[in-house]
């Protein structure tokens, strides 16, 4: 396989975490009312929206509440799995968002939270991914951003967008991947081995093994920073399938945020 990789630095746009509507890569034209999960002493807000060819998910703690582990998903994917940081009384609690560039349909979901993110459960309706035909290789784009709690409960600002494209041609497919630092996010190291202490680590599991990961490691493209915000990888494949695994952010060996981020991957 032939690969081309570029590492690019450029100016960034800033996303306020206290306002999520009509921001970022998805302009919402329909939303569910903001709901509130309120069991076991926890209390946090959630909502979901959709625009043309996109879906959004938003979680935020409420003033006076402690760190809250939460996971929002359906039977096919994880929308948001995060530790919402403590929000002091009288303060403006930040949103944490996931944006997915796919068509949406309404349906039931599961929102679990508390110890191990499964102590309590809500079952809100939200926008889910509309099923695609297996032969439909339209782009996938996934973004996760906002403020999450690290292993010590400290607030960490994150923003990562990953994209996958498959372009058919006479020889098969040209695959294009992008990993981009978004907004005023902290830097990330790219996971090449097991997570380790020191800084935030990013793992895109859908493309995290095989030629893609080997190429990044061999060429020492191992971090995203404000001065080097974008990594682009191009490769070729005779046949393609869809892999749908997590985009995960680690603090050391602990997962502190995740969302499902599909990608086109070679079958050969």
Residue-by-residue pLDDT tens, the chain, 268 positions: 444 444 333 222 323 333 444 446 799 999 999 999 999 999 999 999 999 999 999 999 999 999 999 999 999 999 999 999 999 999 999 999 999 999 999 999 999 999 999 999 999 999 999 987 755 678 999 999 999 999 999 999 999 999 999 999 898 999 999 999 999 999 999 875 555 566 899 999 999 766 777 777 777 778 899 999 999 999 889 999 999 999 999 998 899 999 999 999 988 6
Nearest to 259 by CA among 118, 32, 58, 89: 58
d(CA 36, CA 22): 21
Nearest to 230 by CA among 5, 8, 2, 4: 8
β-pair partners for 235: 175
Which pLDDT score is estimated for 195?
58
CA 224 to chain centre: 15
Which pLDDT score is estimated for 99?
97
Which pLDDT score is estimated for 18?
36
Which pLDDT score is estimated for 25?
78
Which pLDDT score is estimated for 211?
72
d(CA 263, CA 206): 6
Rounded to two decimals, what is the model's pTM? Answer: 0.88
Instruction: Count CA atoms within 13 Å of residue 100 on its CB side.
Output: 28
d(CA 179, CA 31): 28
Residue 267, exposed/middle/buried by CB under 10 A (0-12, 13-18, 19+)?
exposed
Domain boundaries of the chain, sorted by first residue: 4-266
How wide is the angle at C-alpha 241 spanned by C-alphas 266 and 164, nearest 5°? 75
Q: From the CB of residue 148, how many other CB atoms can be counted at a distance below 10 Å?
A: 26
């Amino acid at each position: 396989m032939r690969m081309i990789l570029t590492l690019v630095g450029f100016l960034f746009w800033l996303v306020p975490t206290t306002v999520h509507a009509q921001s970022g890569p998805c302009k919402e034209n329909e939303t569910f009312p903001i709901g509130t999960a309120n069991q076991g002493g926890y209390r946090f807000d959630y909502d979901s929206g959709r625009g043309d060819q996109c879906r959004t998910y938003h979680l935020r703690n409420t003033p006076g509440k402690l760190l809250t582990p939460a996971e929002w998903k359906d039977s096919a994917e994880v929308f948001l799995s995060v530790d919402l940081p403590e929000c002091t009384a009288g303060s403006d609690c930040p949103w944490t968002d996931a944006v997915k560039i796919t068509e949406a349909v309404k349906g039931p979901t599961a929102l679990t939270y508390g110890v191990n993110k499964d102590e309590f459960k809500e079952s809100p309706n939200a926008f889910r991914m509309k099923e695609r035909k297996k032969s439909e290789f339209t782009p996938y784009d996934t973004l996760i951003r906002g403020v999450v709690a690290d292993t010590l409960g400290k607030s960490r600002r994150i923003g990562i967008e990953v994209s996958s494209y498959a372009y058919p041609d006479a020889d098969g497919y040209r695959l294009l991947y992008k990993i981009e630092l978004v907004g005023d996010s902290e830097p990330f190291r790219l996971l090449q081995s097991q997570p380790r202490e020191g800084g935030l680590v990013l793992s895109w599991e859908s493309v995290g093994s095989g030629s893609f990961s080997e190429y990044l490691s061999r060429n020492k493209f191992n971090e995203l920073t404000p001065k080097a915000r974008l990594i682009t990888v191009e490769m070729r494949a005779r046949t393609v399938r869809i892999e749908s695994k997590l985009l995960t952010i680690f603090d050391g060996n602990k997962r502190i945020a995740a969302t499902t981020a599909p990608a086109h991957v070679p079958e050969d």
